[in-house]
Amino acid sequence: MLTNKYSRREILTAGAAATAVSLVPTILPANVFGRGGKIAPSNKITLGIIGAGGRGISDLKRFLAQPDVQFLAICDVQKDRRESCKERVEKENGIKDCSLYRDFRDLLARKDIDAVLIATGDHWHAHASIYAAQHGKDVYSEKPCAITIDLCRQLTNAIKRYGVIFQGGMQRRSIGNFKTAVDLARKGKLGKLKEVHAATYFLKVIYDWLPAQPLPDAETIDWDLWLGPSPWRPYNNDYVKGRWRAHYDFDSGAKFHDWAAHTVDLCQWAVGADGSAPVKYWAEDHILFGMYENGVKLVSRPTGWLGLGNCAVRFEGENGWIETGDSGRIAVAPDSLRNELVNDFDIYGKKFGGSHGEDAEAHVRNFLDCVKNRKQPACNSDIVCSTHIACHAAALSWMLKRELNFNPKNDTFINDEQANRMKTRAWREPWNI
């Protein structure tokens, strides 16, 4: 039983008293904090980017196209990236006065930034998101959003803990042709769903290190910060130039998530499995299988598609199937289903009202609306969490080369200690979360 009674007065006067005796929280570098202070008007959302590589800038462009975004800061551990990003937005978008940071903690410390776009390498996404949430920032994070099963859970817990808005970069949830396909499956137009197929890459995992190269100075490339929470290894330029994929410490799971984060996500959506995951996983070559509790089979495969573009999905039911991909084109059978398709696409997939599969515009808009009205976005942290856990479990069955049984209610592999061990990694100091 609660005995105290709270009113705003009590809460706030107590707060004021505390403020009177306290200093500015010194976790914030004083100079940065001093510069802040200005509170942005609610109708403009102030934004910073963390990780300004190719995908980051492409996402950023979508943000800058929106009328209610004010862009303030760029952070990247590589000097050439942060500078060329600044140059581009100044030239192409007329942005002025945007600050550069090497360490994202300095960016997060700015009180005048509402939201961050996180587009670092995979191994940084969850940590950066969690720190951003701790600073009260709303987060748009590129996928894959967390590189272990446990980290997925920690991510969504932190997002909920601080009550911030989180959008995972699985923008196909906001794109017409994919929505149409999922809709058809969910409305039962295909009959009882039997199989859901997700396009993926060929899998690959690398456990070794690239040869050591001389360490650049931190201002040019801050290798310690690039590594972040991942175990130490010697510097090699290849990693920082984007060739970190498939390396176990940096990749979410043998390159599987790169597409699967999108395509398995759409399958999860079609099956109605958001918040859950398949209960059994196995692999044959580069084809990964999952089985949902209701008997629907998840098939992730790199080949055998109809050629409708990247990141294809296919849903098969007792009465028909539908397949679509990044081209925007849709194929269905039997013919009677053609009547169900929404008139969103012309024959080359360019849409009247929609966009190409990699285009995050609608997804970004959805995020910005939610930043304002505090609603849950299309790919909120709970959805992101369950989709990624399904992907991790599938990739683990491939890496371990055996069937895995999984309980999605408590994230536990049944009778497989090794698989359970691979759900967790320790983080390099000082990156505690």
Q: Which of 209, 215, 220, 243 binds another protein (CB under 8 A)?
A: 209
Site string for another protein, 320-349 (x = CB under 8 A): ---------x-x---xx-xxxx-x--xx--
Give the nearest distance from C-beta 304 to another protein in angstroms: 4
* Interatomic CA distance for residues 63 and 367, integer angstroms: 10
- Specify the residue, 96 or 211, whose C-beta has the smaller distance to another protein: 211
- Specify the residue, 58 or 420, whose C-beta has the smaller distance to another protein: 420
Torsion of CA 79, 146, 54, 264, to 10 degrees: 170
Task: Determine, following the binding rule CB under 8 A, whether residue 381 of this chain makes contact with another protein.
Answer: no
- Specify the residue, 267 or 337, whose C-beta has the smaller distance to another protein: 337
- Specify the residue, 43 or 96, whose C-beta has the smaller distance to another protein: 43
* Interatomic CA distance for residues 58 and 294, integer angstroms: 39
* Interatomic CA distance for residues 63 and 66, integer angstroms: 6
- Specify the residue, 10 or 80, whose C-beta has the smaller distance to another protein: 10
Q: Tell me how many helices (H) and strands (E) the chain has.
A: 14, 15
Q: Are strands 330-333 and 166-168 parallel, antiparallel or unpaired?
A: unpaired
Q: Which of 97, 217, 219, 429 binds another protein (CB under 8 A)?
A: 429
* Interatomic CA distance for residues 257 and 143, integer angstroms: 8
Give the nearest distance from C-beta 298 to another protein in angstroms: 17
Q: Which of 212, 241, 293, 318 binds another protein (CB under 8 A)?
A: 212
Task: Kindly state the tokens that stand for 393.
Answer: 């479990």
List of residues 6+ apart from 190 with CB closer than 8 A? 184, 315, 316, 317, 318, 319, 320, 321, 322, 337
Q: Which of 294, 306, 350, 407 binds another protein (CB under 8 A)?
A: 306
Task: Kindly state the tokens that stand for 273.
Answer: 């499995």
- Asked if residue 149 lies in contact with residue 411, where contact means CB atoms within 8 angstroms, the answer is yes
Task: Determine, following the binding rule CB under 8 A, whether residue 218 of this chain makes contact with another protein.
Answer: no
Task: Determine, following the binding rule CB under 8 A, whether residue 401 of this chain makes contact with another protein.
Answer: yes
Task: Determine, following the binding rule CB under 8 A, whether residue 372 of this chain makes contact with another protein.
Answer: yes
* Interatomic CA distance for residues 433 and 132, integer angstroms: 11
Give the nearest distance from C-beta 87 to another protein in angstroms: 32
- Specify the residue, 57 or 399, whose C-beta has the smaller distance to another protein: 399
* Interatomic CA distance for residues 85 and 154, integer angstroms: 31
Give the nearest distance from C-beta 284 to another protein in angstroms: 10
- Look at the chain and count its residues: 433
Give the nearest distance from C-beta 176 to another protein in angstroms: 13
Q: Which of 214, 232, 295, 409 binds another protein (CB under 8 A)?
A: 232
From the list 47-55, 74-82, 92-100, 129-137, the region that binds another protein by CB under 8 A is 129-137
Q: Which of 304, 318, 350, 407 binds another protein (CB under 8 A)?
A: 304
* Interatomic CA distance for residues 290 and 405, integer angstroms: 10
Contacts to another protein from residues 27-86, by CB under 8 A = 27, 39, 41-43
- Specify the residue, 268 or 300, whose C-beta has the smaller distance to another protein: 300
Q: Which of 187, 409, 410, 426 binds another protein (CB under 8 A)?
A: 426
Contacts to another protein from residues 131-170, by CB under 8 A = 134-136, 157, 161-163
From the list 86-94, 188-196, 224-232, 354-362, the region that binds another protein by CB under 8 A is 224-232
* DSSP per residue, 53-102: SHHHHHHHHHHHTSTTEEEEEEE-SBHHHHHHHHHHHHHHH---S-EEES
- Specify the residue, 96 or 208, whose C-beta has the smaller distance to another protein: 208
Contacts to another protein from residues 1-30, by CB under 8 A = 1-2, 4-12, 14-19, 22-27
State CA 323 to chain mean position distance: 24
Phi, psi values for residue 239, rounded to 5°: -55, -50
Coil, helix or strand at residue 16: helix
